[in-house]
């Protein structure tokens, strides 16, 4: 009796699960739940063709796994191809040059970077203890919070 009920009304289960997966996919946009929704479609079609509920679950599971491990990576790869690879934010500052605007006292000072921003700066631990004067060129090696870690450019053109 329960088996007949599950087989007869399984399409409601598959449609509800499909809607849940699609809603979660719209929120996450990771294609994982879209692949699970594809498995639900397989289970729904199997149910509409008269397959028993256990077979519907098996078909849905196999199809979802196949989609997750074959189709999803291909989609993610193809969507990532046209992405802009230009570094932004902190990553864009690493390696950029600048000019010292205030002399470094106890390893701290200010620099004006190539992008026009003035940053509080600290000399890198790798820097020798030589003085860094106003107007000298430096290179950003790291960012720690709101402080740029710099080293003298040592005659390199920036």
The residues spanned by each domain of the chain are 2-80, 89-152
pLDDT digits (tens, 9 = 90+) for 108-139: 889 998 888 898 898 888 776 677 788 889 99
pLDDT digits (tens, 9 = 90+) for 67-104: 999 999 999 888 877 666 777 677 778 888 899 998 88
* Residue for token pair 């000399």: 123
User: From start to end of the chain, where are the E strands?
Assistant: 97-105, 108-113, 118-123, 137-144, 147-152
CATH code, residues 89-152: 2.40.50.140
pLDDT at 58: 96
pLDDT digits (tens, 9 = 90+) for 4-59: 776 778 889 999 999 999 999 999 989 999 999 999 999 999 999 988 889 999 99
Q: Hey, is 104 helix, strand or coil?
A: strand
* Residue for token pair 């599950």: 6
Q: What is the largest CA-CA distance in the chain?
A: 88
Rounded CA-CA distance 55/57 in Å is 5
Q: How far is CA 102 from the centre of its chain?
A: 38
- Residue 45 is encoded by which pair of tokens? 């079609």
Categorize the per-residue pLDDT at 156 as very low, low, confident or very high, splitting at 50, 70 and 90.
Answer: very low
pLDDT at 3: 66
Q: What is the SS3 assignment for 68-94? A: HHHHHHHHHHHHHCCCCCCCCHHHHHC
Measured from the Cβ of residue 142, the count of other Cβ atoms closer than 10 Å reads 14
């Amino acid at each position: 009796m329960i088996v007949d009920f599950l087989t007869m009304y399984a399409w409601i289960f598959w449609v509800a699960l499909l809607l849940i997966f699609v809603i979660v996919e719209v929120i996450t946009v990771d294609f994982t739940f879209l692949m699970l929704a594809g498995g639900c479609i397989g289970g729904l079609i199997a149910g509409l063709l008269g397959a028993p509920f256990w077979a519907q679950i098996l078909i849905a599971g196999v199809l979802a796994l196949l989609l997750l491990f074959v189709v999803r990576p291909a989609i993610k790869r193809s969507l990532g191809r046209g992405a802009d690879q230009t570094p932004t934010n902190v990553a864009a500052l690493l390696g950029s040059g600048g000019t010292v605007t205030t002399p470094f006292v106890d390893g701290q000072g200010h620099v004006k970077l190539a992008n026009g921003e003035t940053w509080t700066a600290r000399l890198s631990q790798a820097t020798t203890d030589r003085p860094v004067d106003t107007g000298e060129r430096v290179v950003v090696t790291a960012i720690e919070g709101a402080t740029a870690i710099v080293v003298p450019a040592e005659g390199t053109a920036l």
